[in-house]
């Protein structure tokens, strides 16, 4: 098998029990020995083959570059929350005062400041897993290995921690390899998903790739009950700019040419007219996809989820303008595009 993970990605390893997910994960820091092949990890600016490096280099990789979050938390019961979170720093030889400063910062990040002097048995399962996250973040390792870290938690707590992980990832931008057997979790967290069967990767790609184009019957069976509205995004179903009719510096939103969106020289939407009347453009929130003000035509990010697009369509009778991260028009999303996307998914 071959798998490459880019810096800053969350790659989720998916598969049934026994498919090899945890085996691969634990090969990355050589908790599992590798019989054949290479496991290349970027360590201090160089590619290190973890499978064959010396014990001294491996120890350095484990202390400084790769950190792990376990399913069963792995907290030491005789240590406080602060002491558990600082364990990796202690192994690295960081002085106590500096260790306390870093740990307190990470505990604040995961919402555990008030629990710093408590012991593991005094915490709920969700809190214990937050300690595990804080411990992983405290070392400032570039790579986080997460072996089904939320699977032992109640669904509501699991969902909350997934949201918190995504929020934290926006700030810390780590490379995360995440093992899960929960498809909803994988599609929510992963910007890359690798589906495994019998020790092999049978398909890898984005959630959209896998949902729309399953590689075989095994993958199709995996995704057949997934709600596409939670996965598909505007750029997967939109009508691209190349296919839109134009009139000078205006893009026509309807066949009759009565709704025109004017664009600047960089193709950014700047205004709209409806039957000759000047209308208003409204910008949807980049994070939530929601819009608070009334408007005639809505501008939204190109990666808007289809579920959010349907909500926005209730606010306007006109197509949604989808723009890239520079604000340039990328395409349109109207009822037809949404229906086609759902029908294409249903046909797989």
Least confident of 71-75, 193-197, 226-230, 269-273: 71-75
Per-residue pLDDT, averaged over 1-28, amounts to 89
Q: Which CATH class is domain 10-226?
A: alpha beta
**Which pLDDT score is estimated for 70?**
73
Average pLDDT, the chain: 85
**pLDDT tens per residue across span 94-119:** 888 888 898 888 888 778 888 888 88
Task: Name the 3-class secondary structure at 282.
Answer: strand
Instruction: Place 156 in a pLDDT band, splitting at 50, 70 and 90.
Output: confident
pLDDT for 134 equals 83
State percent of the chain over pLDDT 90. 14
pLDDT digits (tens, 9 = 90+) for 159-183: 877 888 888 888 888 899 999 888 8
pLDDT > 70 fraction of the chain, expressed in percent and rounded: 96
Q: For domain 235-344, which architecture applies?
A: Roll (3.10)
Helix (H, G, I), strand (E, B) or coil at 100: helix
Statement: residue 348 has pLDDT above 60: no
- pLDDT at residue 347 is higher than 60: no
Torsion sign (Cα): 59, 60, 66, 71: positive
Q: Where in the chain is the domain with CATH 3.40.50.300?
A: 10-226
Edge-to-edge strands, sheet with 277-278: 246-247, 250-252, 259-263, 269-274, 277-278
pLDDT at position 202 is 93
Beta strands 259-263 and 250-252 are antiparallel
pLDDT at 199 over 90: no
Distance CA 267, CA 199 (A): 47
Would the pLDDT of 78 be above 60?
yes
In a 10 Å sphere around its CB, with 0-12 CB exposed, 13-18 middle and 19+ buried, how is residue 314 labelled? exposed
Read off φ and ψ for residue 305, nearest 5 degrees: -70, 145
Specify the higher pLDDT residue, 41 or 140.
41
For the ranges 33-42, 166-175, 283-292, 332-341, the lowest mean pLDDT is seen at 283-292
Confidence check: pLDDT of 346 > 60: no
In the predicted model, is pLDDT for residue 12 greater than 90?
yes
Which residues belong to CATH 3.10.580.10 in the chain?
235-344
Strand 277-278 to 269-274 pairing: antiparallel
pLDDT score for 345: 57
pTM of the model: 0.74
Q: How confident is the model at residue 72 (pLDDT cuts 50, 70, 90)?
A: low
């Amino acid at each position: 098998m071959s798998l490459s993970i880019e810096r800053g990605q969350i790659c989720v390893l998916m598969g049934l029990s026994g498919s090899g997910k945890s085996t691969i994960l634990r090969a990355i820091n050589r908790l599992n020995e590798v019989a054949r092949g290479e496991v290349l990890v970027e360590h201090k600016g160089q590619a290190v083959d973890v499978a064959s490096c010396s014990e001294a280099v491996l120890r350095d990789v484990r202390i400084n570059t790769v950190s792990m979050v376990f399913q069963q938390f792995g907290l030491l019961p005789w240590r406080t929350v602060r002491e558990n979170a600082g364990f990796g720093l202690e192994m690295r030889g960081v002085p106590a005062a500096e260790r306390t400063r870093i740990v307190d910062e990470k505990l604040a990040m995961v919402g555990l400041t008030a629990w710093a002097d408590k012991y593991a048995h005094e915490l709920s399962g969700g809190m214990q897993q937050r300690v595990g996250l804080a411990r992983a973040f405290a070392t400032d390792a570039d790579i986080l290995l997460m072996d089904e870290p939320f699977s032992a938690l109640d669904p509501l707590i699991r969902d909350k921690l997934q949201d918190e992980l995504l929020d934290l990832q926006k700030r810390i931008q780590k490379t995360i390899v995440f093992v899960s057997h929960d498809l909803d979790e994988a599609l929510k967290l992963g910007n890359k998903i690798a589906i495994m069967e019998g020790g092999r990767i049978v398909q890898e790609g984005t959630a959209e790739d896998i949902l729309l184009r399953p590689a075989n019957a095994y993958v199709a069976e995996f995704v057949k009950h997934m709600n596409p509205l939670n996965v598909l995004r505007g750029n997967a179903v939109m009508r691209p700019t190349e296919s839109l009719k134009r009139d000078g510096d205006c893009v026509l939103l309807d066949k009759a040419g009565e709704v025109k969106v004017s664009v600047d020289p960089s193709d950014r939407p700047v205004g709209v007219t409806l039957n000759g009347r000047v209308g208003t453009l409204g910008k949807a929130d980049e994070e939530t996809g929601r819009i608070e003000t009334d408007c005639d035509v809505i501008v939204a990010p190109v990666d808007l989820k289809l579920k959010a697009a349907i909500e926005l369509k209730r606010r306007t009778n006109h197509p949604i303008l989808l723009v890239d991260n520079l604000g340039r028009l990328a395409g349109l999303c109207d009822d037809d595009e949404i229906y086609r996307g759902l029908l294409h998914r249903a046909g797989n």
